[in-house]
């Protein structure tokens, strides 16, 4: 299993340019799984909930998710990426697992840090494990690691990965 991490500084409020940067940087990379940063396409520091709502995307209609799905298909790897998710009127700090066949998994951050509580709604997805090329992978986001029950739940289910 070859796991890579692509750490970069997303341009705030520029999902299209950030997607282009990721596509250009990861095209042709030989890896099984590549992990991107939290909120990799919008950036992190929002002025208010309205600004976040303007930048967040519905997963099913997202040009970012469609572009990442193509990237995964063309390179036969999987991505774990942070994503500002709009779902009806709710806003989530989400991690997506995307592979050659498209979106496989969505995890919404349970433990919001500091001012995140002003912008995001607490996550409502269960902690689950998925199998990628024989490896059992679980996902948590940043501040979730502080709470041992998150890592413990994922470990008891057979795997762990942090974004």
Q: Kindly report, residue by residue over 33-53, the tens digit of the pLDDT.
A: 999 999 999 999 999 999 999
pLDDT for 158: 82
Can you tell me the mean pLDDT for 110-131? 96
Residues 158 and 147: their CA atoms lie apart, in Å, by 18
pLDDT for 161: 54
pLDDT for 81: 98
Q: Which residues have CB under 8 Å from 26's CB, separation 6+? A: 6, 34, 71, 75, 77
Note the pLDDT tens digit of each residue in 80-111.
999 999 999 999 999 999 999 999 999 999 99
Which two three-digit tokens encode residue 30?
Answer: 């030989």
Which CATH superfamily does the domain covering 3-127 fall into?
Carbon-nitrogen hydrolase (3.60.110.10)
* Residues involved in catalysis: 38, 109, 142
pLDDT for 7: 96
Q: Residue 10 pLDDT more than 70?
A: yes
pLDDT for 72: 98
Domain limits, the chain: 3-127
Taking a C-beta distance cutoff of 8 angstroms, is the pair 10, 42 a contact? Answer: yes
Closest CA to 23 of 58, 61, 74: 74
Percent of the chain with pLDDT over 90: 94
């Amino acid at each position: 299993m070859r796991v890579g991490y692509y750490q970069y500084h997303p341009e705030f409020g520029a999902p299209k340019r950030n997607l282009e940067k990721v596509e250009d940087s990861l095209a042709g990379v030989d890896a099984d799984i590549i992990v991107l940063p939290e909120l990799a396409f919008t950036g992190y520091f929002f002025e208010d909930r309205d600004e976040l709502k303007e930048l967040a995307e519905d997963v099913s209609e997202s040009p970012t998710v469609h572009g990442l799905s193509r990237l995964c298909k063309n390179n036969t790897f999987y991505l774990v990426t942070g994503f500002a998710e709009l779902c009806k009127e709710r806003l989530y700090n989400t991690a997506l697992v995307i592979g050659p066949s498209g979106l496989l998994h969505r995890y919404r951050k349970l433990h919001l840090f500091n001012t995140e509580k002003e912008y995001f709604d607490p996550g409502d997805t269960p902690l689950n494990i998925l199998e990628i090329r024989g490896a059992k992978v679980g996902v948590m986001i940043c501040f979730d690691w502080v709470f041992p029950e998150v890592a413990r739940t994922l470990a008891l289910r057979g795997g762990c990965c942090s974004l």
